[in-house]
Structure 1
Amino acid sequence: MIDFGSDRPVHRQLADIIRADIAAGRLKPGQALPSETRLMQQYELGRVAVRQALGVLRSEGLVVTVKREGSYVRPQVPLQRVVIAGPAEVAARMPSPDERKEFDIPEGVPVFVLSEAGRRKRILPADRTILAWPKAADSD
């Protein structure tokens, strides 16, 4: 429940509750969250606080919001393993609006920018990419 006497803002408390429900599996990937109106009634909050809570969860990549439909638990995406064969630089940053659209990256999810010698830079969504380097042979 929401603790109105707490120093923690109510929208953060609501985000914590929904996040815990997602982590515990009470809200499953692809499942609709309760409507803003339902959340307002259930937790005795105003619309602004509910929208702020959903914004926090969107920025964490946990939920997606579809205009005129509502908010949903973000579906699981398959992980892609990228093996880096040679020397490389990896930088993390937030994607541009065009990159978000091209790679279907939700708000709040960063990208890896992979620069390898002799190859074009690659943009890899961080929420579905595992970067791996080959293991070096033991030097006994």
Structure 2
Amino acid sequence: MRNIYDIDEVRMENDAYYFSLNERTLEIQLKPAGQMLADSDGAAFVYVVEENGGYSYLRFPEKVWGALADILKTKKDPFLTVKGKTIPLRNFADELEMLVFNIEGNGNYGDTFVEKVEAAFREILKSE
């Protein structure tokens, strides 16, 4: 069964970003899969994680895109904090960068989503 977890908080600590997942589930066992997708209908970036022999998703809504843009500037992978555990999100920055550049000007993602991504990542897109 695929679970979708919404990222609801982000903080910067020791020059690294930490995203929080405040789930009520007793035990969440997540392992980074190192892949990023786009949810153009939901206006979110989605990081794939392995969970209980299948895949689940971490949704990064627009409210945290400022942190995502900063991650692309530093090219440092962030961390996920779940129930006191810290999990490095491997390949996050590289996958996000490829996806953002693929979305730029690409109507297949829908005009509204493309416009939002281009606005949020303007500095990144113009620097390349």
Question: Is the pair's TM-score, using the shorter chain for normalization, greater than 0.5?
Answer: no
**TM-score when scaled to structure 2?**
0.27
Structure with the bigger RCO (C-alpha within 8 Å, sep 6+) is 2
